[in-house]
Structure 1
Amino acid sequence: MSRRIVLAPDSFKGTATAAEAADALARGWRSVAPDDEIVELPMADGGEGTLDAFAVAVPGARRVQVTVTGPDDRPVDAAWLRLPDGTAVVELALASGITLLDPLRPLDAQTLGFGEAIAAALDAGATGLLLAIGGSSSTDGGTGALVALGARFLDGDGRPIPRGGGGLASLAVVDVSGLRTLPAEGARILSDVTNPLLGPTGAAAVFAPQKGATPDEVDLLEANLARLARIVRGGDALAAAPGAGAAGGTGFGLLAWGARMAGGAGAVADAIGLDAALAGASLVVTGEGRFDGQSAAGKVPSEVTARAAAAGVPVGLVAGAITADASGFAASVSLSALAGSGAAAMAEPLRWLEAAGAVLARG
């Protein structure tokens, strides 16, 4: 008797997108059980690969190419995704992501291109927005994106401040009179980050070092973001909101625009119809690059596991490395163990993902 198998992995960051991972797992599974029905639903949590996940999972989704200003002011070929219901998915990593920079620019990188991609979607008639903000290169509080949407950030002489988090030091006035309105269905922010804008768990302290900031630069960026929060109307309250510190404070900027936090993996699961896919399934397979102690905190495997439990569906786990207790899964496969080492698994991730699919199919 054929089974219905749902494949819902996250990306294996740096080695395979979620769509590539799902496809490789499917090939491996079919090599053992060709008669089983395979449903590929690549997942995401709002970070890199979110747009690709939607493109694969939502029938009729259409990618729209757009050239925007990259985080270092050079042109970047990016894209946004039009869903059949008129919603646009816009991914920050494609337009303003850290992988677009070499070297890193902790004070000067900015989110202008992300805002330009949002503006392009609005110009094309998007009725709602899903804004995936993981993978940011900057700590500019989302000011670059808001500039592209019509806001003005000025110094004491009425001149535009320099781009990037460093430029916020001269901020004196925020003019939102020209800021575009939200689309009719609003804008939802996709992110699994719950950090506030400021303080020891804020955007500068936690994330700026990952973007190349020295300790002195972290202090400067913290002060600059605090300055932004004081000047933006209602900024003090917004700065404390969960997720305001996401993507170098881009969460804060989008909240100030009127967008709302929707969570990461949960919102993606809703949008791609994961619950409907699980109905009647024999097994769902999820995974990520590293399954560790943080995987239970809003990451894709925890979201898939929770929904599978509600549907009474067992869960299989595939990860590049498994360093946390995986005894709650019906089966688990470590690519590092399968390949003999982490280096071998990372060198040929699709080969070992395919092998993992075959292992799970054999039971």
Structure 2
Amino acid sequence: MKVLIAIDSFKGSISSVEGSKAIELGIKDVYPDAEILKLPLADGGEGTVKTVVQATRGKLVNKEVTGPLGEKTIAAYGILADGNTAVIEVAEACGLPLVPLEKRNPLCTTTFGVGELILDAARQGCRNFVIGLGGSATNDGGIGMLQALGYRFLDSRGASIGLGAKELAHIVKIDSSQVNPLLQQCSFRVACDVNNPLYGPDGASHIFGPQKGATPEMVEELDRGLKQLAEVVSAELGVDIQNIAGTGAAGGLGAAFSGFLKAKLESGVDLVLDMLEMEKHIVGANLVITGEGRIDGQTSMGKAPMGVARLAQSRHIPVIALAGSVVEETKALHSLGMTSIFPILSSPMTLEQAMDSIATFENLRRTTNQIFRLLHAVRFKVE
């Protein structure tokens, strides 16, 4: 019997790596000779770097960069075993958790550190980049990142503007003459699971600005700044960054990657599954186990377990999904590839108890054990 375990983390409780170990033990209790392949998952957001690095036997690199408030911070990124591919989460350099609540003001925060991470990886020989958007504290349209890469954004006097979204309104010209030449050899794939345009009612400022600390007045100023950036980019570079789906992601970083670095914006889970070569590893599997902390109606909207289930369904492989909680609306997921869905909690408990990592490990192992005992008892032929 071959079982593929491909779960996401149970956020705030247990990592995908530890959760996979618990599930493996639950299977081995019943089928000690089972062939088990563990591929911890992520969906392009938080945890993607560590997950992909562990799964591909790459390495983590720590780099001191400029944080969102202009201070120095340590950010981690991954280099895969091929030595040519870097995996970067923008939140490591400009994430919302790096900004204290009382200092959150997206007019002032910068993405400069993201550019510093890219340059560091390029100098170490990386030419292929996988970027995870999401969780940023910024709304600067990615100009900070681009400034770190050598782009100069000039005002009406021909002077370089400063850092932060408050400077966007002053941009009238773009100078690319000092861009680091290594970028010409680099390609970028960007995990982006939103379709928001750069500016307007559905753009970065109106939809995501408030959660980053923007007041209604700030939102309008931020939106005008992004519109100014888009107009200058259209005039100077001939690229319409407003009408590319996803350019509003991460405060406009999607626009910077697609408009300046010719990046391809992709579904996060599809990108990660491709990097992990999931299609190759699923071959010959009799059963797939996936899961995450909560399985609900949002699971079908680009979450990692759903990507696994769809892939398995296309190959007629049954899928068992495990979760800390399962809601009634998940019935629709059965037709999308999830054969059976099981909550792992066995008795009433507080949220704190349910989130305890040791308890989650044991609950995953116990639930898996019981499922496979049933399969064994009814002589379910998965071998």
Equivalent residue in structure 2 for 1:332, among 337, 341, 348: 341
Give the deviation of 1:341 after TM superposition.
Answer: 4.9
Give the deviation of 1:210 after TM superposition.
Answer: 1.9
| Distance across 2 between alignment mates of 1:130 and 1:109 | 23
Name the % identity: 36
| Distance across 2 between alignment mates of 1:169 and 1:22 | 49
TM-score by length of 1: 0.90
Change (3 A) 1:362 1:162: same
| Distance across 2 between alignment mates of 1:202 and 1:348 | 38
User: Are 1:351 and 2:359 matched, yes or no?
Assistant: yes
Change (3 A) 1:72 1:173: same
Partner of 1:56: 54
| Distance across 1 between alignment mates of 2:21 and 2:98 | 26
- Alpha-carbon RMSD across the aligned residues, in angstroms, is 2.3
Tell me if the contact between 1:190 and 1:261 (Cα under 8 Å) persists in the aligned partners.
Answer: yes
Superposed, 1:209-288 pairs within 5 Å as 209-232=210-233, 233-234=236-237, 237-257=240-260, 258-288=262-292
Give the deviation of 1:262 after TM superposition.
Answer: 2.9
Structure 2 residue ranges without an equivalent (≥5): 372-383
TM-score by length of 2: 0.86
Give the deviation of 1:84 after TM superposition.
Answer: 2.7
Give the deviation of 1:348 after TM superposition.
Answer: 0.6
Change (3 A) 1:40 1:151: same
Tell me if the contact between 1:26 and 1:354 (Cα under 8 Å) persists in the aligned partners.
Answer: no
Change (3 A) 1:231 1:84: same
Superposed, 1:42-53 pairs within 5 Å as 42-53=40-51
Give the deviation of 1:340 after TM superposition.
Answer: 2.7
| Distance across 2 between alignment mates of 1:214 and 1:22 | 43
Residue type matched to 1:53 in 2?
Answer: T
Aligned residues: 359
Partner-residue secondary structure (3-state), 1:254: helix
| Distance across 2 between alignment mates of 1:177 and 1:16 | 47
Change (3 A) 1:36 1:339: farther
Larger Rg: 2
Residue type matched to 1:277 in 2?
Answer: H
Equivalent residue in structure 2 for 1:73, among 70, 94, 113: 70
| Distance across 1 between alignment mates of 2:62 and 2:13 | 24
Partner-residue secondary structure (3-state), 1:332: strand
Partner-residue secondary structure (3-state), 2:190: strand
Greater shift, 112-121 or 286-295, is seen at 286-295
Find runs of 4+ consecutive structure 1 residues off by over 6 angstroms: none
Partner of 1:362: 370
Partner-residue secondary structure (3-state), 1:307: helix
| Distance across 2 between alignment mates of 1:346 and 1:214 | 36
Structure 1 residue ranges without an equivalent (≥5): none
Residue type matched to 1:332 in 2?
Answer: I
Tell me if the contact between 1:80 and 1:90 (Cα under 8 Å) persists in the aligned partners.
Answer: yes
